[in-house]
Amino acid sequence: MLEVVNLSKAYNVGPLGKEKFYAVDNVSFHVADGEIVSLIGESGSGKTTIGKMILRLIKPTGGKIIFNSVDIQSIKNRKEYYRLVQGIFQDPFSSYNPIFKIDRIFEMIREEFYPAITKEEWSKRVKKVVEDIGLNPSEILGKFPHQLSGGQLQRLLIARALLIDAKFLVADEIISMLDASTRIDVLNTLIKLKEKGLSVLFITHDLSLGYYTSDRTIILYRGSIMEYGDTVKVFKKPLHPYTKMLLESVPTTQKVWSNSYISLHGRNVLPSFCKFYDRCPLGDSTCKNVSFEKFEESHFVACVKVTGEGEHVA
């Protein structure tokens, strides 16, 4: 359904913008019909940038995004595209225009996508979908954004995406503001929609959420993919040192939490070196020109230190 090919986004930095900073560096992956793919990475790894490029809010500087075998940059009619590809943003507070009531985000959809539906019919639909995400429509509708909590606003954004009935959803940290009890409802809603054929790019920094929802996992670090594959395989047999570090840094109840990977070695990442070189405990001069190696069926890793058995060369 959606294919990302050698996607890059470079920003000019430094004096006179001579140097380039790659927020997203040569990223390729695909999302099939009815599949949830989670994009996991720490802050600043380029997750949101990838999401925004798919939503055509940021222009890529390299590579392309192909949706239903059409390059999205060549689609002139944006409305047609957004009818099929939708997004939910990270920050619910800034996603609403503060001077208007929240109902406007639903009304906007009716005006742009479903002008044939009457207002009465539409408000019935809105009420239904607001109930579906566990909110009381009579309490919520007609309020201003500042009168609602972050969790309520975020769930309304999810309701908005459901109303459009899109085929592909970019879900950028959609449950960051929700409490544990409502989180699982929202995730289950996503999984239910997936079974109806919705594809989701699930952007998160929370490993357990990624594990719970997604079919496949992509581990991103500094704009590059480190490892990707079936979620179960990646979590069961993490190959890349960074993936291992991420999994070890999930606090568990059974042991005292310690993290040996977090320390920086003070090395600089040189061009053509692995992006994780500066923090990797195994990093040495051989960590150059890394490419993806197939470790097993649908499980790939970009690390020169991984042996055929999934162990690391010291």
Pick 55 or 159: Cβ nearer another protein:
55
Pick 17 or 310: Cβ nearer another protein:
17
CB of 122 to another protein, least distance (A): 14
Hunting for tokens 């539906």 — which residue is that?
Answer: 117
Q: Which helix (H) or strand (E) holds 229?
A: strand 224-230
CB of 88 to another protein, least distance (A): 9
Pick 84 or 269: Cβ nearer another protein:
84
Pick 64 or 83: Cβ nearer another protein:
83
CB 191 within 8 A of CB 211: no
Pick 79 or 255: Cβ nearer another protein:
79
Radius of gyration of the chain (CA): 21
CB of 146 to another protein, least distance (A): 6
CB 213 within 8 A of CB 276: no
Cα distance between residue 126 and residue 184, in whole Å: 22
CB of 100 to another protein, least distance (A): 8
- What letter would DSSP give residue 136? -
Cα distance between residue 223 and residue 218, in whole Å: 12
Q: For the packed helices 119-132 and 104-113, what is the interaxial angle rounded to 10 degrees?
A: 130
CB of 248 to another protein, least distance (A): 34
Residues that bind another protein (CB under 8 A): 52, 55-57, 78-79, 82-83, 86-87, 89, 91, 94-100, 105, 108-109, 112-113, 144, 146, 157
Q: How many residues does the chain have?
A: 314
